[in-house]
Amino acid sequence: MNVDRYDDRLIVQTNLIESYSQLMGFAEKHLWDKFYLEGDARVSLRNIISREILVNTLIHREFTSPYYAKFIIEKDKMYTENANRAVTGGIITPENLEPNPKNPLIAAFFRNIWLADELGSGVRKLHHYVPLYSGKPPEFVDGDVFRTIVPLDDGYSFDAEIGKAQIKRNDLNDCALPENTILKYLTSHPRATQVEVAMAIGKSRRTVQDAIAALKEKGLIKREGAKKSGMWIVIKNEKQ
């Protein structure tokens, strides 16, 4: 299993705007941007969720405390920690939420540059979008250290059928197994990345990685060229 993302470090010591930009870049680097349609438009669950938890950390941090704010991505969860003046001392939910402007000037600043909405909207948004991204709700712990915890599941897909719609269904009628589906897709999309294949067929990247490894071992495909600019060569399609 690829665990490179769990060994990366980023120390942020700059102004609020650059801090937000660097932290968002870190999230985009290490989190899957899963396929999701809201109405007829694709939205980035990864970016929505990351924006909410990071802006919340920057807005509500207790800046008089020496405690370092943290943004941590692990295998099964990501979370933020920041010094806090606790109000409830327990778990915050949309039902018991009482918006408390801990740093109103900073909150107003982020609202004016369209990175934050009205006070308290972040909790409601995360309770809406996190289950779509990982299948489980977020958790907000209001203590001396405030923690926002977002569960992660790389294999979870809210609606795999949406991803499959990127390929014409009549082209996939004879593809019952993931390996055959991937062969079919790579035949017409030889420069596709594993992430693009996973999004297109509605499978997790891990599933696609395993299937591609099996196809290589069987001698059905090979990779030519550089990692980013190369292409897949389909040697034999078992359904042809």
Mean pLDDT calculated for residue range 96-119: 75
Phi, psi of 146 (to 5 degrees): -85, 130
pLDDT for position 6: 54
Mean pLDDT calculated for residue range 74-81: 93
Cα–Cα distance for residue pair 133/87, rounded to 1 Å: 29
Helix (H, G, I), strand (E, B) or coil at 65: coil
Angle at 138 between CA 115 and CA 77, to 5 degrees: 95
Strands (E), 3-153: 37-38, 41-42, 70-73, 77-83, 91-92, 139-142, 145-151
pLDDT in tens, 177-219: 578 888 888 888 888 888 778 777 777 777 888 888 889 888 9
pLDDT in tens, 149-159: 999 998 887 76
For residues 79-90, b (16+ Cβ closer than 10 Å) or e, as one string? Answer: bbbbbbeeeeee
Mean pLDDT calculated for residue range 141-166: 75
* DSSP letters spanning 112-124: HTTS--STTHHHH
Cα–Cα distance for residue pair 156/136, rounded to 1 Å: 10
pLDDT for position 175: 41
User: Considering the domain 160-234 in this protein, what is its CATH number?
Assistant: 1.10.10.10
Domain boundaries, the chain: 4-151, 160-234
Residue with the bigger pLDDT between 119 and 16: it is 16
pLDDT for position 110: 81
How sure is the predictor about 111, in pLDDT bands with cuts at 50, 70 and 90? Answer: confident
pLDDT in tens, 22-75: 999 999 989 998 888 777 788 899 999 999 999 888 887 777 888 888 999 998
Phi, psi of 22 (to 5 degrees): -65, -40
Listed in sequence order, the residues at least 6 apart from 54 whose beta carbon sits closer than 8 Å to its beta carbon are 20, 23, 24, 27, 71, 80
**What's the token pair of residue 41?**
């438009």
Tell me the fold of 4-151: Heat Shock Protein 90 (3.30.565)
How sure is the predictor about 173, in pLDDT bands with cuts at 50, 70 and 90? Answer: very low
DSSP 206: H
This prediction's pTM: 0.61
Cα–Cα distance for residue pair 221/187, rounded to 1 Å: 10
pLDDT for position 171: 43
DSSP 59: H
What share of the chain in percent tops pLDDT 70? 84
